[in-house]
């Protein structure tokens, strides 16, 4: 197991390097200019100066190697300095966003909390809704509950979040006035009142995303349960006279969870990635909103860094899912 | 009895007090929302209006332009003129006097050195200052004494109100930015995000592309202002959600740039929580006619250059016919509602600068058809498309991807088809269209199409530099890396000569007259530019926010110090 993990980690290094180069070239080759948001009243020579000041006129490989150096040396050194008070990164240029001229990692640091709270909660809520629905739907296959569950999953799958989100806004914010439409990222939760405020502002984005998440996971849960329900060991358990509760929740559920846990683990990087549409709709301004804003503004350092962090997380969680699989199912060993 | 009278008097005074002696910070918090979030609070490193609007609440210039287009002093005692001796008679220098006892929000005094530093900051060759045009033609800025700033120009400058005028070129604090000159400019993250200013508010918190939190500046020069103790700008989302947050849910007090479809405007206004306000500046949605041939069959480097005149659009009768076929009122109704009005001018305002040209407003389909007939374009083979010498009257009409523009394209295509013109439509990603990449065939400068549509405006109420765009020498060509503002490749020696005269004329009435003439030369006299809609900036404010005077000539937040809570 350990050798397997190490081998996979070693293999991840060249993979990630190739990914970083591909992302960089893709973003760079995409048409557009970092100055396309600037009013037409700014004359060409001033634009040229601005491009030069950003370093955007350098050849693509110079910029790529500079980025590599900044990502793997300057930024860790900076982090190390801020922890231990050393001066490794002194005089080095951190990765700066072209749009805001702020360090990209500072922006990510500012945005991660709301992404993790909102998107993370939505994921958790999605899982908590999906697992029971999946179990009961499978146990009572083709019952009215199963039909309703299928219907719910269908809606969750097919209704895009920009539609369901807007619908929620119109019902709960405009008509009923219960929830705010713009997420307050500066809210500090320190008492009961501010906690309620936080819950209220999270309600709509969490509902929107939770529905979409629950739809997918409940289908996995249901089909995995169905696979196991027909197995011989289930018949044996019943024949032994075990209660239905024990059969379903102990024997079937445990075995059915194995693939579902993998699916859930693989979905976790998406939490860090944020949700572009939902974040924009409710003004959550997390990582997803930062990424789309950077893409629109042709802010290459920002897009590159965020996209690369996603790549790292996806590679990492794939590995974690594989290891979890081995831990949950003793039949699977990688050595 | 006496006591009662005294009490009544006290009550009366107390009742009047808020109105008569308004106090700083008594009205709580004012909440603004922008569809595009604020990225940076330093206007010299940003080009986006969103950033400059936010910065204008904190940083101030010497003078601003009010909604009527009149220059009013901010940090200066008065507007220098030739009459009051502030501008030298030969127009080569302007001398500003700072208000006495002016303080930065950190309590230190504002001096002329700060202005000198600001000029050095923006003109540093490695700084990439986005407002460099404000300091163009400035030979030097000196501090004559701590409260006197003298700006000297390299040549006589008829409009000397560029440097340190308007929210685009405010004064920075030297002490804060001293280490941020040139290449170091973007590394000063704290200074760029939380600049120390003289304005009614000071920044207390900044999260990039998300939220700016501010509180009343304790050292603001007017002790009674601002009425609000705190201000917050939340960014993100889109125009629709910003408008909704003010007009329907009432969560915010002010939303900038809420350009939404006319039917949504009406629906939101009906909610009764707020109102839309519109300011008309010089932004004009227009059709630009290509006077050169964009034929793909031409060799690269000659396509869309003056070498090959346009085979169809070189004839003024065709251009005029295309303009006549358009019903601009319908365009406004469909696309902008209260946020637009039909226009025939490139310079639609301020009133004294705008030509009385309105001949294009009424649609004249028959007149347009007659003109094409006269020009020799007739439908000889009966397929509904006009032709001449075996060539079809076919145009490629491009613009950016934008729902309103696509509506406009569809409408205009219908009118032109009725006219007997075959129209091919093309929509390009705005990032590419305005990106200016010389390698891309789809930039608006390259103009590999016959007609294109976008909006442009003059940065200042005085349109001198804006009109300068249409000089011969500003045509984008392969030699200039396809940079240049004369998109149409319009070239008229008479225009260039008249423009040269404008740059030398100092008398205001005369300048306005020349500007109107220049406007007519590119519009009704030549139909090179076919203006469609005079677009305003549409913003929304809640009914409980008082004191808003939306301003098209400077930043919308220009008078935020005067905003108050309606009680």
| Interchain proximity B133–A43, CB inside 8 Å | yes
| Interchain proximity B47–A50, CB inside 8 Å | yes
Inter-residue contact B560 to B167 (CB < 8 Å): no
Does A37 lie at the interface with B, CB-CB under 8 angstroms?
A: yes
Handedness of CA B312, B316, B319, B320 (dihedral sign): negative
Residue A124: partners with Cβ closer than 8 Å, 6 or more residues away: none
pLDDT for B368: 94
Handedness of CA B235, B239, B245, B246 (dihedral sign): positive
Minimal Cβ distance to B133: which of A36, A46, A111: A46
Here the CATH number for the domain that contains residue A211 is 1.10.3720.10
Does A82 lie at the interface with B, CB-CB under 8 angstroms?
A: no
Does A55 lie at the interface with B, CB-CB under 8 angstroms?
A: no
Smallest Cα distance from B326 to chain A, Å? 26
Minimal Cβ distance to A38: which of B47, B205, B237: B47
Extract long-range pairs of B509-515: CB within 8 Å, 24+ residues apart: B511/B158, B511/B462, B511/B464, B512/B352, B512/B353, B515/B347, B515/B353, B515/B463, B515/B464, B515/B467
Strands B394-400 and B451-456: parallel
Q: Rounded to whole angstroms, what are the CA distances from B324 to A138, B329, B366, B396, B532?
A: 68, 13, 9, 18, 11
- Let me know whether A183 and A318 are in one domain: yes
Chain A contacts in chain B segment 483-512 (CB below 8 A): 483-485
Query: Is position A102 within any domain?
Result: no
- Let me know whether A183 and A295 are in one domain: yes
Query: Is position A254 within any domain?
Result: yes
| Interchain proximity A180–B436, CB inside 8 Å | no
- Let me know whether A82 and A162 are in one domain: no
Chain A contacts in chain B segment 297-336 (CB below 8 A): none
Determine the Cα angle at A95 with ends A90 and A97, to 5°: 135
Does B272 lie at the interface with A, CB-CB under 8 angstroms?
A: no
As a whole number, the mean pLDDT across chain A is 86
- Let me know whether A195 and A285 are in one domain: yes
Rounded to whole angstroms, how far apart are CA atoms A74 and B269?
A: 52
- Let me know whether A48 and A136 are in one domain: no
Residue A277: partners with Cβ closer than 8 Å, 6 or more residues away: A160, A161, A162, A165, A288
Does A177 lie at the interface with B, CB-CB under 8 angstroms?
A: yes
Q: Which residues of A touch B433 (CB under 8 A)?
A: 36
- Let me know whether A175 and A317 are in one domain: yes
Query: Is position A5 within any domain?
Result: no
Instruction: Report the number of distinct structural domains present in chain A.
Output: 2
Rounded to whole angstroms, how far apart are CA atoms B201 and B203?
A: 7
Rounded to whole angstroms, how far apart are CA atoms A57 and B463?
A: 32
Question: How is residue B235 written in tokens?
Answer: 């960014």
Q: Let me know how long chain A is.
A: 335
Q: Which residues of B touch A298 (CB under 8 A)?
A: 431, 435
Query: Helix crossing, B493-504 with B508-522: angle to 10°?
Result: 160
Mutate to test the interface with B, among A100, A168, A277, A301 (most CBs of B within 10 A): A100
Coil/strand/helix, residue B285? strand
pLDDT for B22: 66
Does B207 lie at the interface with A, CB-CB under 8 angstroms?
A: yes
Residues facing A8 on adjacent strands: none
Query: Is position A98 within any domain?
Result: no
Does A281 lie at the interface with B, CB-CB under 8 angstroms?
A: yes
- Let me know whether A50 and A195 are in one domain: no
| CA nearest to B363, candidates B392, B307, B323 | B323
Rounded to whole angstroms, how far apart are CA atoms A332 and A258?
A: 11
pLDDT for B440: 83
Smallest Cα distance from B177 to chain A, Å? 15
Give pTM, 2 decimals: 0.84
| Interchain proximity A53–B186, CB inside 8 Å | yes
| Interchain proximity B440–A31, CB inside 8 Å | yes
| CA nearest to B154, candidates B92, B226, B238 | B92
Inter-residue contact A121 to A204 (CB < 8 Å): no
pLDDT < 50: residue spans in chain A: none
Query: Is position A6 within any domain?
Result: no
The terminus-to-terminus CA distance of chain B in angstroms comes to: 33
Q: Which of A44, A65, A93 corresponds to the end of one domain?
A: A93
Q: Which residues of A touch B437 (CB under 8 A)?
A: 31-33
Q: What burial class does residue B546 get, using C-beta atoms within 10 Å of its C-beta: 0-12 exposed, 13-18 middle, 19+ buried?
A: middle
Rounded to whole angstroms, how far apart are CA atoms A288 and B437?
A: 27
Residue B487: partners with Cβ closer than 8 Å, 6 or more residues away: B288, B444, B445, B447, B452, B476
- Let me know whether A40 and A178 are in one domain: no
| Interchain proximity A41–B39, CB inside 8 Å | no
Does A106 lie at the interface with B, CB-CB under 8 angstroms?
A: yes
pLDDT for B12: 45
Instruction: Quote the strand ranges of B119-245, DSSP E.
Output: 138-145, 148-153, 201-207, 211-216, 230-235
Rounded to whole angstroms, how far apart are CA atoms A279 and A286?
A: 6
Smallest Cα distance from B549 to chain A, Å? 23
| CA nearest to B162, candidates B519, B456, B461, B457 | B461
Does B400 lie at the interface with A, CB-CB under 8 angstroms?
A: no
Max CA separation in chain A (angstroms): 85
Does A100 lie at the interface with B, CB-CB under 8 angstroms?
A: yes
Does B232 lie at the interface with A, CB-CB under 8 angstroms?
A: yes
Question: How is residue B531 written in tokens?
Answer: 């203006």
Does B440 lie at the interface with A, CB-CB under 8 angstroms?
A: yes
| CA nearest to B403, candidates B264, B553, B214 | B264
- Let me know whether A117 and A53 are in one domain: no
- Let me know whether A186 and A303 are in one domain: yes
Rounded to whole angstroms, how far apart are CA atoms B516 and B505?
A: 14
| Interchain proximity B432–A39, CB inside 8 Å | no
Cβ neighbour number for residue B467 with a 10 Å cutoff: 24
Q: Residue with structure tokens 């406004």?
A: B332
Q: Which of A69, A93, A117 corresponds to the end of one domain?
A: A93
| Interchain proximity A103–B189, CB inside 8 Å | yes
Query: Is position A12 within any domain?
Result: no
Residue A232: partners with Cβ closer than 8 Å, 6 or more residues away: none
Residue A187: partners with Cβ closer than 8 Å, 6 or more residues away: A194, A197, A198, A201
User: What dihedral angle (degrees, nearest 10) is formed by the CA atoms of B398, B399, B404, B407?
Assistant: 0
Query: Is position A10 within any domain?
Result: no
Q: Which of A30, A64, A93 corresponds to the end of one domain?
A: A93
Query: Is position A39 within any domain?
Result: yes
Expressed as residue numbers, the domain containing A76 is 17-93
pLDDT per residue, tens digit, chain B (567 aa), is 444 554 444 444 444 444 445 688 899 999 999 988 898 999 998 868 889 999 999 999 999 999 988 899 999 999 999 889 999 998 899 999 999 999 999 999 999 999 999 999 999 988 888 888 889 889 999 999 999 999 999 988 888 898 999 899 999 999 999 999 888 888 888 999 999 999 999 999 999 888 999 999 999 999 998 999 999 999 888 888 899 999 998 999 999 988 888 988 999 999 889 999 999 999 999 999 999 999 999 988 889 998 899 999 999 999 999 999 999 999 999 999 888 999 999 999 888 899 998 889 999 999 999 999 999 999 888 888 999 988 899 999 999 988 899 999 999 999 999 999 999 999 998 878 887 777 788 889 889 999 999 999 887 888 888 898 899 988 988 888 888 889 999 999 999 999 999 988 888 899 999 999 999 999 999 999 999 999 998 999 999 999 999 998 999 999 999 999 998
pLDDT for A160: 87
- Let me know whether A75 and A174 are in one domain: no
- Let me know whether A79 and A115 are in one domain: no
pLDDT for A298: 82
């Amino acid at each position: 197991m350990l050798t397997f993990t190490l081998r996979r980690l070693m293999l991840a290094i060249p993979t990630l390097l190739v990914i970083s180069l591909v992302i960089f070239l893709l973003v760079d080759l995409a048409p557009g200019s970092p100055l396309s948001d600037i009013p037409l009243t700014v004359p060409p020579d001033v634009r040229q100066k601005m491009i030069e000041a950003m370093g955007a006129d350098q050849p693509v490989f110079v910029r790529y190697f500079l980025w590599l150096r900044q990502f793997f040396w300057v930024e860790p050194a900076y982090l190390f300095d801020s922890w231990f008070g050393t001066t490794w990164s002194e005089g080095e240029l951190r990765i700066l966003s072209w749009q805001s001229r702020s360090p990209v990692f500072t922006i990510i640091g500012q945005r991660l909390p709301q992404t993790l709270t909102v998107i993370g909660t939505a994921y958790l809520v999605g899982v908590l809704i999906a697992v029971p629905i999946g179990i009961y739907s499978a146990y009572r296959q083709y019952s009215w509950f199963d039909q309703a569950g299928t219907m719910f999953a269908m809606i969750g799958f097919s209704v895009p979040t920009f539609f369901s989100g807007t619908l929620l806004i119109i019902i709960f914010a405009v008509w009923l006035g219960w929830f705010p439409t713009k997420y307050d990222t500066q809210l500090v939760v320190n008492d009961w009142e501010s906690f309620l405020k936080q819950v209220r502002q999270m309600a709509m984005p969490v509902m929107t995303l939770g529905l979409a998440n629950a739809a997918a996971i409940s289908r996995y849960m249901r089909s995995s349960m169905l696979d196991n329900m027909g197995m011989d060991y289930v018949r044996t358990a019943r024949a032994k006279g075990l209660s239905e509760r024990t059969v379903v929740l102990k024997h079937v559920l445990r075995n059915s969870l194995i693939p579902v846990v993998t699916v859930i683990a693989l979905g976790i990087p998406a939490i860090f990635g944020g949700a572009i549409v939902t974040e924009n709709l409710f003004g959550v301004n997390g990582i997803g909103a930062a990424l789309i804003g950077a893409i629109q503004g042709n802010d290459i350092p920002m897009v590159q860094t965020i996209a690369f962090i996603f790549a790292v997380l996806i590679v990492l969680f794939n590995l974690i899912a594989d290891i979890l699989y081995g831990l949950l199912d003793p039949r699977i060993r990688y050595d | 009895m006496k006591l009662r009278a005294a009490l009544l008097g006290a009550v009366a005074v107390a009742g009047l007090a808020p109105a008569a002696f308004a106090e700083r910070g008594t009205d709580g918090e004012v909440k603004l929302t922008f569809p595009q979030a604020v990225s940076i609070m330093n206007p010299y490193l940003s080009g986006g209006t969103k950033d400059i609007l936010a910065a204008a609440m904190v940083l101030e210039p010497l003078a601003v332009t009010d909604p009527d287009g009149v220059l009013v002093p901010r940090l200066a005692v008065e507007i220098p003129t030739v009459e009051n001796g502030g501008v030298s008679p030969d127009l080569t220098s302007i001398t500003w006097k700072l208000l006495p006892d002016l303080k930065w929000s950190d309590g230190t005094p504002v001096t002329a050195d700060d202005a000198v530093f600001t000029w050095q900051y923006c003109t540093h060759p490695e700084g990439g200052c986005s407002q460099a045009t404000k300091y163009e033609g400035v030979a030097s800025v000196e501090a004559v004494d701590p409260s006197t700033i003298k700006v000297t120009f390299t040549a006589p400058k008829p409009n000397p109100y560029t440097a340190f005028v308007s929210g685009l070129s405010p004064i920075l604090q030297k002490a804060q930015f001293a280490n941020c000159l040139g290449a170091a400019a973007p590394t000063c993250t704290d200074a760029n995000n939380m600049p120390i200013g003289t304005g009614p508010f000071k920044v207390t918190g900044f999260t990039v592309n998300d939220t700016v939190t501010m509180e009343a500046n304790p050292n603001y020069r007017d002790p009674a202002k601002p009425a609000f103790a705190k201000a917050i700008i939340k960014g993100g989302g889109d125009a629709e959600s910003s408008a909704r947050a003010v007009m329907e849910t009432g969560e915010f007090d002010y939303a900038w740039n809420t350009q939404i479809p006319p039917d949504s405007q009406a629906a939101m206004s009906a909610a009764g929580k707020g109102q839309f306000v519109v300011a008309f500046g010089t932004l004009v949605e227009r059709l630009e006619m290509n006077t050169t041939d964009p034929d793909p069959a031409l060799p690269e480097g000659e396509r869309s250059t003056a070498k090959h005149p346009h085979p169809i659009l070189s004839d003024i009768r065709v251009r005029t016919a295309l303009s006549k076929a358009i019903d601009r009122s319908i365009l406004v109704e469909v696309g902008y509602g209260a946020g637009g009005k039909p226009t025939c001018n490139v310079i639609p305002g301020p009133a004294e600068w705008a030509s009385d040209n309105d001949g294009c407003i009424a649609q004249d389909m028959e007149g347009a058809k007659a003109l094409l007939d006269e020009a020799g374009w007739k439908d000889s083979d009966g397929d509904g498309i006009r032709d001449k010498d075996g060539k079809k009257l076919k145009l490629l009409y491009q613009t950016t991807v934008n729902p309103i523009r696509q509506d406009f394209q569809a409408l205009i295509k219908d009118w032109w088809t009725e006219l007997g013109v075959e129209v091919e439509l093309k929509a390009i990603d705005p990032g590419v269209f305005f990106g200016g990449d010389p390698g891309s065939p789809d930039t608006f400068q390259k103009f590999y199409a016959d007609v294109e549509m976008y909006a442009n405006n003059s940065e200042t109420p005085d349109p001198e530099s804006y009109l300068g765009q249409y000089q011969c020498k500003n045509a984008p060509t392969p030699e200039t890396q396809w940079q240049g503002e004369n998109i149409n490749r319009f070239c008229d020696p008479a225009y260039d000569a008249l423009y040269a005269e404008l740059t030398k004329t100092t008398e205001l009435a005369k300048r306005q007259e020349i500007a109107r003439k220049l406007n007519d030369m590119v519009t009704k006299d030549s139909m090179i530019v076919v203006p469609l809609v005079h677009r305003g900036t549409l913003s929304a404010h809640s009914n409980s926010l008082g004191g808003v005077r939306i301003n098209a000539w400077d930043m919308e937040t220009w008078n935020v110090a005067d905003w108050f809570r309606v009680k």
